[in-house]
Structure 1
Amino acid sequence: MKEKIEKFAMLCAAFSIIFSVYYFIGADSRKEKMINEARAKMRIESENKIEKQLTQKLGAAYLDMEKYSAWASRFKLALKDNSLNEDPDKDGLRNYLEYLHGTNPNKADTDGDGFSEKSELQNGFDPDDDGKSNLQVQIKIEKLGIDAPMVWSKSTSDAEMLKDLENGVSHFHKTASPGQIGNMIVSGHSSNYSWARGDYNNIFKDLYLLETGDEIIVNTLQKNGRAVAYKYSVIKKFVTTADDQQVFAQSEKPILTLSTCWPLGTNLKRLIVKAEIEN
């Protein structure tokens, strides 16, 4: 009888030990599962927060793009509250702008042409090309039915600019690029000689109809397919002389200046429309 009791006690002790081991292993497993679930929840919350911030920054355009979280994962970027505004490659472009333009956030010169992405964008070049091609740009003013290509003028020579105006509206040499800080000046014909070449001889003939608050869209397209729409809102318009310095005045924020000869059929003065960036 004593032997049976001792044997039973030993079995109970063994069972207790085994139960304790399995319990603690199970507890550790449950704890690890809870930790993993908490981490997954935090990651999803962080991703959702970032996606919301990007939607606010980029508007509807963001809906057609690769998710930021997937893009960040490819470049091994941490997803945290301030990650959109970080600049790991120190090229002057924050992560959300690197994402927008499809450039490498860990490399200041994605295309290896010797110029930083920020420098290329400021000067109207494609940041993901070889540094020799400009961004493709379209100027769209829905109110006036205008949707015209912008030509990057390489000179301030009247002859050269008139040649450029045969193919669209003309970006005044060395003024700001789309969306960049400074004064971006774009000129277009309001009228021209009937025999003059080109399809844009009166592209800005209705510019006088623009009023404060009207929208001007500047669409840019890169070689990698990234398209960015900069929205400008009209703040004022006036008629002045061709050499009036307020037309060329610099700005500490992105400004768009549209210019055309005025009155129609003359080049006596200039009709100027100024607009500031919305988003």
Structure 2
Amino acid sequence: MFHRNAPLTATGRLRLARCVVDDGWPLRRAAERFQVSHTTAARWADRYRRHGSPGMHDRSSRPHGSPRQTPAGLEAEVVRMRREHRIGPLRLAARARIAVSTAHRILKRHGMPALATLDRATGEPVRRYERSRPGELVHIDVKKLGRIPDGGGHRTQGRAEGRRNRTGTGYAFLHTALDDHSRLAYTEDLPDETAPTCAAFLTRATGWFAEQGVAIERVLTDNAWAYTKNTWRDTCRDLGISPRYTRPWRPQTNGKVERFHRTLLEEWAYHRPYTSDAERQAAFPDWLDWYNYHRPHTGISGQTPASRVTNLSDQHT
């Protein structure tokens, strides 16, 4: 990589060297012509004589030997423990009795990716995918969320009083349909997650996405009881949607909607202390509108979900 103010690139060095070696120019004339020092011209001419054109490129500054580098046997042991136990530099350093920074360098030297990028079950890198157009695949899932009693829960009243207030409040079941390509989301707070409730939600979600110009082709769910009943399959058939299911014990397959629910909890449900469930629910439409139309999404290079749906951003005010 060349410095932005470097007078010579690899091509310029080759031209200079050929003027001196092949055409017989004096060093000082070549140095003046290419606006470099006499010693620089001599260095590149000498390297051209010894190595030819390949010698015009920068050499690595890495030393030929590193006498204090960690022994190969110890490095192999660190790599083995990482693969077998899937632990990070801190715990590897404790087991191998080396510095944490040394463990980190060993992992980096052997091309071991960060644990966050691996599937914990298999240790293999997570394979990410994205559908090519809106509606091609919609992820559906339910998030169970405890309701807030009137007067507030433990976040506003303390744990003892919040525990007493919580009696009989029940749970909210947040049903979400999220488009794989655009991350556009539709969510409803429903009283349960039975088959009729899930099927009715799909019908309303399909209508909402149609209003946004998105025709749902496939839906992906887990293998929960409600999604395996004929009620769900018949609704999918009537809507012209193909149902798909994740593999058992593989929630990562439906990870986009799982990640949306985590964002929902962090930025809406637990974002501030609410004094009642009604107050929290009243804040939800504005948050969902912000998520769909205004919030930059890191999973799609900082775009908003609406910007990935044809003309949707321009229509929204």
Q: Same fold (TM over 0.5)?
A: no
Greater share of residues in strand: 1
Greater share of residues in helix: 2
Classify the TM-score, shorter chain: under 0.3
TM-score (norm 2): 0.25
